[in-house]
Amino acid sequence: MKRSKTMELGVGLFMLAGILGLVFLGLRVSGMTLNASGDTFRLEANFANIGSLKPRARVTMAGVTVGRISAIELDTEWYDARVVMELDSDLEGELSRDTTAAILTAGLLGEQYVGLSVGGDPEMLADGDTIRDTQSAVVLEELIQQFVSNMVND
Amino acid sequence: MIGSLRRLGRFGCNALESLGRAGGFLLLSAFAVPSREGFGLWVRQMHFVGVLSLAIVLVSGLFIGMVLALQGYTILVEFGAEQALGQMVALSLLRELAPVVAALLFAGRAGSALTAEIGLMKATEQLSSMEMIGVDPLRRVVAPRLWAGFVALPLLTVGFSVVGIWGGYLVGVEWLGGFEGSYWGNMQSSVEFLDDVGNGMIKSMVFAVVVTWIAVFQGYDLIPTSEGISRATTRTVVYSSLAVLGLDFVLTAVMFGGLS
Amino acid sequence: MSDTPFVVVEGLHFSRGETEIFRGVDLQIPRGKMTAIMGPSGTGKTTLLKLIGGQLQPDAGRVLIEGENIHAQSRKALFAMRRRMGMLFQSGALFSDLSVFENVAFPLRVHTDLPEAMVRDLVLMKLEAVGLRGARDLMPAELSGGMTRRVALARAIALDPQLILYDEPFVGQDPISMGVLVQLIKRLNEALGLTSVVVSHDIKETLSIVDYVYVISDGQVMAHGTPKSLDVNQDARVRQFVHGEPDGPVPFHYPAKDYFSDILDAGVRS
């Protein structure tokens, strides 16, 4: 039992590393955030078609990640998709009312995310507001279909 | 005809009997009340099966992640989908490769050693003499080893995944020049913590129970000669590899195959 | 009370697979005496010790230790009964991951709550009794065969048992360590008043220290008596065993067909 001190230390480190690894898998790999609420604010946007957008996808401005999608649900009033976004609280009151939200795709087959671009309206969006000007996801199949039918028509 | 039927019947009876013995053995030892020094014994075994298996598991994980990224990149780039590399590496590691490969390595590294160690203790009458001293060897020798295996393998699997994903990053981003943001971003948007990481961990816990159980039982049940020990060690590796691969199919079908 | 036997074995039957090892063995081990169980190799002497210690279940018959049937005990009661027994295994069976000191301390630590200082004193006393107090920090792998058995003896008497079972204590020892062990076992038994069972086929050494002998052959007790009475026993099988004659009722040849025709057969085949 002489070596048990170093042995215990080794086992302790081993278990700690395992737990840290699990945290890494949670935060870095599956993109969970520890501070889900707190220094963020909510914006909503309605899209006619979200394609394959998923909760926890990125929300970007000019390519910089500024937030995440927290929920996607069906809006039963208009029968379109309501996307709830959690954005950095730094941006609260900085986005103009005519900001547009578009669902973009990274590369041809990559993940889908929401891109925001600011307009020129002097009034700003506040917590819980809805973005009016949205652009739906580009669905590859529809594009191809259009392309093919155009060819046939020509 | 009758003779071969009888042989089949005898084989079935023997198989059932040893399965029953193994089951009783697992119950008796896994739920043996931990003794005072039980924790110390467990730490010792954790060191033996966990810490000492860390190197081989991590190195293998790194290489497998790197190979995945290399193979995946060359295929995905043909479809112009190299952004999906992170997703591919992470999902195949978390769901499949990390639990299975870590369990196979564990069976080879720790399982065979457990069998040989317990078998040697049996051959040198250490288990008998422990019984005669009035200490239950199931509690003193087997239980700490079982529990160490149960805990160590899932932890090793986590390590395997982490190192593998990092290895994929090294190759896919640092070496082949993929875009770092899409490696992590794609991964994060497609990996579900509960579905992917969670199910991978469940797999790995099942494998941990099965591999450790086989290893320890083979050691405890072997014929105490040098030939018996070497046979039991081989059996441990063969049986646990087959069990891991077979169970992996069943678990995958239930978890991801929509059979639930 | 003191003249009732400590261990009684009645009508013991035991078989391993197809082989019958015991076919009705009756023994009585007197209290405070040394009893030897002897017999040719392969007659299951070690198996008998394991049956007495409750490690194996007999097919029929019973083993009573101070009137209690050891095979009818719960697991817990069985382990409690074993605290009163010590067993010296053929190989010593020291725990290879513990030092000599820890090996001897092991029974004390698991069965008593003695303070560390007391455990130390007791262990050193037991080691002194077998002459190995200086070897307390060695590991079992560093000991010679004779030393291993002496440490195992110290461990077996650590809890001051009432019954001690010796499994082939003299086998494979050089003459010096054999002499040491013989003297040690004899002295310890006299000093502690133990009831002892010695299983052995080392006739000369064993007969020199025991009070009573059972000879087992073919799964039954073939003869029993004091060492003196066995020495003059006229039964051919007993005489062959006690005096070590190479041929007799136990044949020198393994059963085979006729030598002459066997050799001729081989000639024809090639």
Please give the Cα distance from B175 to B172 (Å, whole number).
6
The mean-pLDDT minimum among A71-85, B35-49, C122-136 falls in B35-49
The Cα-based distances of C189 to C35, C94, C157, C183, C241 in angstroms read 11, 21, 10, 10, 26
The Cα-based distances of B242 to B55, B103, B154, B209 in angstroms read 24, 11, 19, 14
Among A4, A25, A108, whose Cβ lies nearest the Cβ of B161?
A: A25
Please give the Cα distance from B95 to B97 (Å, whole number).
7
Q: Hey, is the C-beta of B136 within 8 angstroms of any chain C C-beta? A: yes
| B258 pLDDT tier (thresholds 50, 70, 90) | low
> Which one of B162, B165, B196 would you mutate to disrupt binding with A, by most A Cβ within 10 Å of its Cβ?
B162
Q: Hey, is the C-beta of A140 within 8 angstroms of any chain B C-beta? A: no
pLDDT at B161 over 80: yes
C136: three-class secondary structure by DSSP:
coil
pLDDT at B260 over 60: no
The Cα-based distances of B59 to A5, A125, B151, C139, C268 in angstroms read 27, 51, 20, 34, 64
Pick from A10, C111, C99: nearest CA to B148: A10
| B249 pLDDT tier (thresholds 50, 70, 90) | very high
Task: List the domain boundaries for chain A.
Answer: 1-35, 40-144
User: What integer is the mean pLDDT of B181-207?
Assistant: 87
Residues in B closer than 8 angstroms to A13, CB to CB, are 51
Q: Which domains does chain C have, with CATH numbers?
A: 1-80+198-269 (3.40.50.300)
| pLDDT for the residue A1 | 46
CB of C181 within 8 A of CB of C187? Answer: no
**CA B17, B19, B21, B23 torsion-angle sign:** negative
User: What integer is the mean pLDDT of B89-103?
Assistant: 93
Residues in C closer than 8 angstroms to B125, CB to CB, are 89-91, 93
Distance in Å, alpha carbon of C180 to nearest chain B alpha carbon: 23
Pick from B96, B113, B47: nearest CA to B207: B96
Concatenate the DSSP letters of all residues of A20-37 into one string: HHHHHIIIIIS---S-SS
- Residue C225 or residue B94, greater confidence: B94
> Which one of A2, A29, A50, A58 would you mutate to disrupt binding with B, by most B Cβ within 10 Å of its Cβ?
A29
Tokens for C76? 């817990």
- Residue of chain B with shortest Cα separation from A53: B189
Q: Hey, is the C-beta of A64 within 8 angstroms of any chain B C-beta? A: no
CA triple C11-C17-C23, angle to 5 deg: 20
C12: three-class secondary structure by DSSP:
strand
pLDDT at B190 over 90: no
User: For residue C37, how far is the Cα from the chain centroid?
Assistant: 8
Tokens for B95? 């769901």
Q: Tens digit of pLDDT for each residue in C133-187?
A: 888 888 888 888 888 888 888 888 888 888 888 888 887 777 888 888 888 888 8
Give the best-scoring range by mean pLDDT among A5-19, A21-35, B30-44, C38-52: A5-19
Sequence length of chain A is 154
Pick from B52, B109, B171: nearest CA to B101: B109
Q: Hey, is the C-beta of A111 within 8 angstroms of any chain B C-beta? A: yes
In a domain, B112, yes or no: yes
| pLDDT for the residue C261 | 80
Residue type, position C81, single letter: M
B31: three-class secondary structure by DSSP:
coil
| B58 pLDDT tier (thresholds 50, 70, 90) | very high
In a domain, B14, yes or no: no
Burial class of residue C9 in the structure, from the number of CB atoms within 10 Å of its CB (0-12 exposed, 13-18 middle, 19+ buried): buried
C-alpha dihedral (C233, C237, C242, C243), degrees to nearest 10 = 100
B79: three-class secondary structure by DSSP:
coil
* Phi (first) and psi of residue C251, to 5 degrees: -75, 150
The mean-pLDDT minimum among A57-71, B42-56, B197-211 falls in A57-71
Token pair 């200086």 is found at: C134
Question: Are B124 and C111 a contacting pair at CB < 8 A?
Answer: no
pLDDT at A49 over 50: yes
| pLDDT for the residue B9 | 87
Q: What order do you get walking across the sheet with A58-61 strand by strand?
A: A130-131, A40-47, A80-88, A64-75, A58-61, A112-117, A100-105, A133-135
Among C83, C93, C109, whose Cβ lies nearest the Cβ of B129?
A: C93
Which residue segment(s) compose the domain that B70 sits in?
Answer: 35-253
Tokens for B64? 């497998």
* Total-model pTM: 0.77
Q: What order do you get walking across the sheet with C68-69 strand by strand?
A: C19-29, C7-16, C60-65, C68-69
C41: three-class secondary structure by DSSP:
coil
Task: Domain count for chain B, please give it.
Answer: 1
In a domain, B161, yes or no: yes
**Side-chain half-sphere exposure of C89, counting CA atoms within 13 A:** 22
Give the best-scoring range by mean pLDDT among A102-111, B18-27, B170-179: B170-179
CB of B133 within 8 A of CB of B192? Answer: no
Tally of CB atoms within 10 A around C46: 17
| A35 pLDDT tier (thresholds 50, 70, 90) | low
| B243 pLDDT tier (thresholds 50, 70, 90) | very high
The Cα-based distances of C224 to A49, B128, C30, C37 in angstroms read 99, 29, 13, 9
User: What integer is the mean pLDDT of A5-18?
Assistant: 86
In a domain, B79, yes or no: yes
CB of B64 within 8 A of CB of B97? Answer: yes
Please give the Cα distance from B123 to B131 (Å, whole number).
14
Say what the ipTM of the complex is.
0.75
**Side-chain half-sphere exposure of B11, counting CA atoms within 13 A:** 6
In a domain, B8, yes or no: no
> In the structure, how many helices (H) and strands (E) does chain B have?
12, 0
| pLDDT for the residue A5 | 79
Concatenate the DSSP letters of all residues of A50-97 into one string: -TT--TT-EEEETTEEEEEEEEEEEETTTTEEEEEEEEEGGGTTTSBT
Widest pairwise Cα distance in chain A: 87
| A63 pLDDT tier (thresholds 50, 70, 90) | confident
Pick from C184, C197, C198, C106: nearest CA to C149: C184
Please give the Cα distance from C13 to C62 (Å, whole number).
9
User: What integer is the mean pLDDT of A74-85?
Assistant: 87
3-state helix, strand, coil in chain A (%, to 5): 30, 35, 40
* Phi (first) and psi of residue C160, to 5 degrees: 50, 65
* Phi (first) and psi of residue C62, to 5 degrees: -145, 165
| pLDDT for the residue A2 | 47
| pLDDT for the residue A27 | 82
| C1 pLDDT tier (thresholds 50, 70, 90) | very low
Q: Tens digit of pLDDT for each residue in B115-160?
A: 999 999 998 888 888 888 878 888 888 888 999 999 999 999 999 9
| pLDDT for the residue A109 | 65
What mean pLDDT, rounded, does chain C reach?
A: 82
